[in-house]
C-alpha cells in the first residue's frame, strides 16, 4: 500500500506541472495586468515594474522563471500586496479556510449519513419522503443563494448570529456557524442520498441475510455489519468532496467576509495578481490529488476486496 501511495504521488507530478502551465498561460492571456489601473502611471515607472517581475519578457521566458522558482519552493512575491510573499499570504488565510472546510465536511458527513440511514430504514414511509425532499432542496439551492438568505434572517432581521466577518480577538464558533452551515448543506443533501441508496442495497445483500439468519439482533446487524459496508461509497466520495468544499469556500469566504485563502484568490484574480493566483491554484490542485489518494487508501483498508484489485 505504501508503494502504491508513493507511485501515485510520483504520477501526480506531471499532472501538477500541466495544471501550472495551463493556469499560467490562461492568466497571462487574460485582458489587463497587475499594473493596469484606472489611473495611468508614468511609462518609466510601469517599465520598471514590468522588468522587476519579468513581465516585459515573452511568456515562455516568464514561465521558465516561474518554474525555476517553483523548483526551489519559491512561489514568488505578490504583485499587489507590498512586501509580501505568496507563501506568507497563503499561510495567513490557510487556518480559516481549513477550519471552515473541515467543519463543513464533518457536519455534512455526520448529518448526511444519519439522514440516509433513517431514510433507508424507513423506506417509502414519511421519514424517507421527508429526507429525500430536504435532499432535493439542498441540491437545488446553491450556497451563493443560501448564504445571503441566512445573513438576512439570522444576522439582520433576528440578530441571532453575526452575519459576516471573523474577529480574531473574539474567535469563537459563533462566527463560523452560518458559513459552515451554508457550505455543508449541498454536501448533506448528496451524502444523504448516497447513504440511503447504499444502505438499501447493503440490507438486501447476502452478507446481511446471513447475519440475520444467525439470529443476531437487528441493531447489531445494522450497526456492526451493514453500516461499515454502506459507508464505502461515502468514503470514496468524501475525498473529492472535501477538496470541492475547500474550493467552494471561495464563494462563502467572499459572501461572509472571512479572511481565508478563497477570498484572497478572488481579490487576486480581480487584480491580476499572477503569482498569488498561481500559488492558490497549485495548493488546491495538490490538495485535490492528496485527498483523492487518502480516500482511495482508506477504501482499501475498509474493503479487503479492493486490496487485490
**How would you classify residue 257: left for phi > 0, otherwise alpha for psi between -120 and 50, otherwise beta?**
left
Is pLDDT at 179 greater than 50 in this prediction?
yes
Q: How far is CA 309 from CA 233, 304, 305, 306, in A?
A: 16, 9, 7, 5
Distance of CA 51 to the CA centre of its chain: 36
Full DSSP string of 221-256: IIIIIIHHHHTHHHHHHHHHHHHHHHHHHHHHHHHT
CATH level 3 topology of 95-307: MetI-like fold (1.10.3720)
Residue-wise pLDDT for 258-267, tens only, equals 888 877 888 8
Tell me the domain boundaries of the chain. Answer: 2-71, 95-307
Instruction: Read off the pLDDT of each residue in 26-53 and give the average, rounded to a whole number.
Output: 73
pLDDT of residue 193: 92
Residue spans of alpha helices (H) in the chain: 2-29, 43-52, 59-71, 86-121, 126-140, 143-150, 177-203, 206-213, 218-220, 227-230, 232-255, 261-270, 274-302, 304-307
Is pLDDT at 196 greater than 90 in this prediction?
yes
Q: What is the sign, positive or negative, of the torsion defined by CA atoms of 169, 171, 174, 179?
A: positive
Give percent of the chain above pLDDT 70.
91
In this structure, what DSSP letter does residue 122 have?
Answer: T
Is pLDDT at 303 greater than 90 in this prediction?
no
pLDDT band of 268, cuts 50, 70, 90: confident
Residue-wise pLDDT for 111-158, tens only, equals 999 999 999 999 889 999 999 998 888 888 888 888 888 888 887 888
pLDDT band of 169, cuts 50, 70, 90: very low
Residue 215 phi/psi, 5° resolution? 85, 20
Amino acid at each position: 500500500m505504501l508503494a502504491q501511495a508513493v507511485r501515485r504521488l510520483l504520477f501526480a507530478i506531471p499532472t501538477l506541472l500541466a495544471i501550472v502551465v495551463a493556469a499560467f498561460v490562461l492568466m497571462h492571456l487574460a485582458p489587463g495586468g497587475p499594473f493596469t489601473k484606472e489611473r495611468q502611471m508614468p511609462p518609466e515607472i510601469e517599465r520598471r515594474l514590468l522588468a522587476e517581475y519579468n513581465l516585459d519578457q515573452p511568456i515562455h521566458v516568464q514561465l521558465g522563471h516561474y518554474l525555476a522558482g517553483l523548483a526551489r519552493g519559491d512561489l514568488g512575491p505578490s504583485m499587489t500586496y507590498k512586501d509580501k510573499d505568496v507563501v506568507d499570504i497563503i499561510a495567513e488565510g490557510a487556518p480559516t479556510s481549513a477550519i471552515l472546510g473541515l467543519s463543513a465536511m464533518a457536519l455534512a458527513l455526520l448529518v448526511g449519513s444519519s439522514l440516509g440511514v433513517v431514510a433507508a430504514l424507513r423506506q417509502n414511509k414519511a421519514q424517507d419522503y421527508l429526507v429525500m425532499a430536504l435532499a432535493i432542496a439542498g441540491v437545488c439551492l446553491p450556497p451563493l443563494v443560501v448564504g445571503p438568505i441566512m445573513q438576512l434572517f439570522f444576522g439582520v432581521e433576528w440578530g441571532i448570529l453575526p452575519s459576516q466577518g471573523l474577529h480574531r480577538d473574539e474567535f469563537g464558533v459563533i462566527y463560523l456557524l452560518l458559513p459552515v452551515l451554508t457550505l455543508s448543506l449541498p454536501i448533506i443533501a448528496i451524502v444523504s442520498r448516497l447513504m440511503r441508496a447504499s444502505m438499501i442495497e447493503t440490507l438486501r445483500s447476502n452478507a446481511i441475510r446471513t447475519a440475520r439468519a444467525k439470529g443476531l439482533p437487528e441493531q447489531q446487524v445494522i450497526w456492526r455489519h451493514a453500516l461499515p459496508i454502506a459507508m464505502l461509497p461515502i468514503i470514496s466520495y468524501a475525498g473529492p468532496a472535501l477538496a470541492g468544499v475547500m474550493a467552494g469556500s471561495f464563494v462563502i469566504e467572499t459572501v461572509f467576509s472571512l479572511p481565508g485563502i478563497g477570498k484572497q484568490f478572488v481579490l487576486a484574480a480581480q487584480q491580476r495578481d499572477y503569482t498569488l493566483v498561481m500559488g492558490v491554484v497549485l495548493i488546491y490542485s495538490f490538495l485535490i490529488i492528496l485527498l483523492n489518494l487518502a480516500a482511495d487508501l482508506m477504501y482499501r483498508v475498509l474493503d479487503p476486496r479492493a486490496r487485490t484489485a
